[in-house]
Chain A
């Protein structure tokens, strides 16, 4: 399955693009997809940091299955403040 993964903010800048196209196996999960993106862009985040993923505009766990046509986005930590 092929996905055009959307990147925002820090991830967009680090990848140098707002969209990254990845190919993953038919039974791929969210975790497999995010690993595939990281393999293409090793500087996206340090290895010990989990990248948060949204599927169809909802936060997704790494073991969630993907379906063709899903909108997948990588979500950097949000803005914070105190």
Chain B
């Protein structure tokens, strides 16, 4: 009896250790974000006086209102990022989906050779410098195409993920559609597309996130401040205070209470806003995409 109670107690202790360990890491993940959010809604005067803090002493939304009323540069960057994310993701999905459909089709004799052709550059590539030179040769500089096409529009990893998924679909689906007289393009878009929703959702997330968070293309290929995507603008704001001065220039000099510190954090918050809003969906498909890859890849 005594022994049993002991073991019960021990399990409880180990449960507690596990739970508190997990909870601690959970806090570790969330706290920095909460801090950034709290700073963004704190009154600038308080920040200047007491520094950043987790609990805002005096609430103020002036940082956000400044962004929406005066931050023309920021809003333009926002529009650019939304544009490249939407068009880029749609284009990438089409290219990847079509290629995956074809190279999973057993009627195509050379499908494996073509898959190898796509695989090899994943392992052997020239690196950053040749990539930059190719982009220059193709004229992908200082235009929107430079933010959409190089490096992002087709990912071999996502391609193989999709292809693996399609290879798991019985061939009879394609054959029966063929007998009914459908062409390959029609089969791909009308019959396979709906069946592939899970994997397409996952790669939409991967592509969308890559576009949204991308600033590599901007730092390499874009010099024109009017074309900076959101992430790169954020980097510029932090590194070059001058950009912030420009933001400030739009406002009358008399207004000395411009919220600089909270403005910074508010900008960061606005950047991750859509991610927070879409988070439940994102997370579900991220996990799904990972498991699709790990089961069959």
A is bound by B = no
